[in-house]
Structure 1
């Protein structure tokens, strides 16, 4: 079974623990709408990954089968250790290019779009990174790293990076000099001048020290997280597409084919010839969406109902018929979009979300099975009651709170 199924409860529990610790310390580490958006983006990333891996892993397997120079044993600890080291090296370059090539940044910018830095930010992942990311790891296929080992070390590298997305852990002494740690990675997510294009490592920060991209966290300068051109949206689809839209718009404005190519392949914004401006933290303003308190509470409840569905989808993906897989994935993806509109305080979004919640609640309760799962009567009744009750409660709050008209 996909290990992510078991990781999701750990993610949720650790986020709740971090919220509690931050509250005890009086730290403003979380914004509910922002955190839920990060979780929605993580869900979308997992959904697209179910389909994208068919292509990306397929390419790796094809190269491994046809052009590998040798065959490394999958049962060797040394092969696994060497593969993890190699993967982390290639990850450094994939990550670095994700910041230095505009079309790659269009995918990676999703991860940097939050203006908060917490464990939920780690789950704010792209849905389009698979388009080009696979290319960087093909040398491992040529070297004879078995696909099973490749998948395993990729997962290890990814899961390691989860815990470094926090402000609750300070400096860690010698670990900061060798490994990627919260201190090192906070710099990477900053938009301060000294933070830009620094600390790309996945597990080892040694790559940054070796290739000149390391920057130490400064005690005398507060890190401001996010990107210079902020997203200012809670729509997970737009979060994935907005920079591609910017690239197309810039392409239309660029004069001559050389400039048009630079729009996509040069560093972000470099085609204009204008240097990146100085960051003035005094001018920075957090994005504060108009999220009514009832919408935030409703969003938390709905994610609690959505998370088990995501786990079921990931677990059943290899065995589900393709039409069922596509339908289930579409329902979950549509749910994240609907909830995003709700969190932005849009009255229309609230109405759509009411309908979505009721329809899916009725479907879960009345259908013979839910994508192969025959739920007990008590669970069916509970989900239906929660769905109907939430819709009624939301209706009451639509009338008593200020909402956007669109």
Structure 2
């Protein structure tokens, strides 16, 4: 069973806990549309990972079998620790290139597109990371680290980074000098001038200190999160693909093949001679389309219904044939797209959501097994009632585009 299945309830509970604590403290660290968008990106990242993991892991195993210098013992604790340290070093360079090479930034930018910084932001992951990220870990295969060890230390490195996405934990003293902490990682997510291209480490901030990319959080300057060219959308499709589209257009406009190639491999903003503009935190506003409160809570409810389906998909995807898994994945994608459109108050999102609800409710009730899960009759009936009731409720809601407005950070 994929360990992420067991992590999902922990993610959901800690997000709710953080939101509750923030509310008690009177700190605005959550916005429902933004948080749901982050969660949608996390869902789609796991869905695409179910299809790409076999290929990327297969390449690693092939390199390991053909070129390894030695073979590491799976029973040696010191070797496990060393493997984790080496993995974190590879992660540092993969992460750094994800900021310094345009085509890799196109994949990673989605993680930085949230203008809030909380635990849900940690789950705002890319769906296109398999294109390039695996390359940076091939040296570990040559060193002889077995794929099982790679997967486990990689999971440890990934899960560690979850808790550092919060504004509720301040400085941590000496730990800030050694480990990636909330303070260090807040800098990494900032748009402020001093935050750009800093603090790439996964677990250890020592790499940043060693390679000259460390910056300490400044007490006198509020960090503003997000990206310099804001996304202004809750669409998970646009979130994952918008920068690829930008690069394609710029590449087409460039003169000569060297310039065209340069667009893709240059640093973000580095394909022109224009200096990077100064960022002024005092004038920063967050994206907001003033989604009506009832619609926000409706989307939150539907996401809560989606979570068990996502957990089930992650758990069974490995045993499904590719076509069946693709159908299941498509249903999850349509859900994310429809709910994102509703958050943007797009009329077509209402119709797509109603169609989705009818298909889901009727098919879940009608099929003997839901991708291997034999649902109790009571559960089938409850979901059907919820879906039909949601269709009726949505039909009474006026969903119309609003002028985009900003809210003070």
User: Which band: TM-score by shorter chain?
Assistant: over 0.9
Question: Does 2:121 align with 1:95?
Answer: no
- Structure-2 change in CA distance of 1:62 and 1:36 (3 Å): same
Please name the residue that 1:43 is paired with: 43
Choose 369-378 or 10-19, whichever is displaced more.
369-378
Please name the residue that 1:202 is paired with: 202
Please name the residue that 2:263 is paired with: 263
The 2-side partners of 1:321 and 1:301 are apart by 30
Q: Counterparts of 1:304-319 in structure 2 under 5 Å?
A: 304-319=304-319
Alpha-carbon shift at residue 403 of structure 1 (Å): 4.5
The 2-side partners of 1:112 and 1:289 are apart by 20
CA contact (8 A) 2:19 2:30 kept: yes
Which consecutive segments of 4 or more residues in structure 1 shift more than 3 A?
Answer: 401-405
CA contact (8 A) 1:191 1:224 kept: yes
Alpha-carbon shift at residue 295 of structure 1 (Å): 2.0
RMSD of Structure 2 on Structure 1 (CA) = 1.2
The 2-side partners of 1:202 and 1:123 are apart by 15
Which blocks of at least 5 consecutive residues in structure 1 are unaligned?
A: none
Q: How many residues align?
A: 403
The 2-side partners of 1:221 and 1:57 are apart by 43
Please name the residue that 1:56 is paired with: 56
Q: Counterparts of 1:349-368 in structure 2 under 5 Å?
A: 349-368=349-368
In the superposition, the TM-score normalised over structure 1's length comes to 0.97
CA contact (8 A) 1:294 1:394 kept: no
Alpha-carbon shift at residue 257 of structure 1 (Å): 2.2
Question: Does 2:8 align with 1:12?
Answer: no
Q: Counterparts of 1:207-218 in structure 2 under 5 Å?
A: 207-218=207-218
Secondary structure (helix, strand or coil) at the match of 1:287 reads: strand
Please name the residue that 2:295 is paired with: 295
The 2-side partners of 1:181 and 1:270 are apart by 30
Alpha-carbon shift at residue 286 of structure 1 (Å): 0.9
Q: Counterparts of 1:50-199 in structure 2 under 5 Å?
A: 50-199=50-199
Q: Deviations over 1:36-80 (max 9, x none)?
A: 000000111001101111111010000001111111112221221
The 2-side partners of 1:61 and 1:375 are apart by 38
Please name the residue that 2:407 is paired with: none
CA contact (8 A) 1:164 1:181 kept: yes
CA contact (8 A) 1:358 1:388 kept: yes
Please name the residue that 1:27 is paired with: 27
Alpha-carbon shift at residue 181 of structure 1 (Å): 0.4
Please name the residue that 1:286 is paired with: 286
Please name the residue that 1:377 is paired with: 377
Alpha-carbon shift at residue 95 of structure 1 (Å): 0.4
In the superposition, the TM-score normalised over structure 2's length comes to 0.96
Please name the residue that 2:345 is paired with: 345
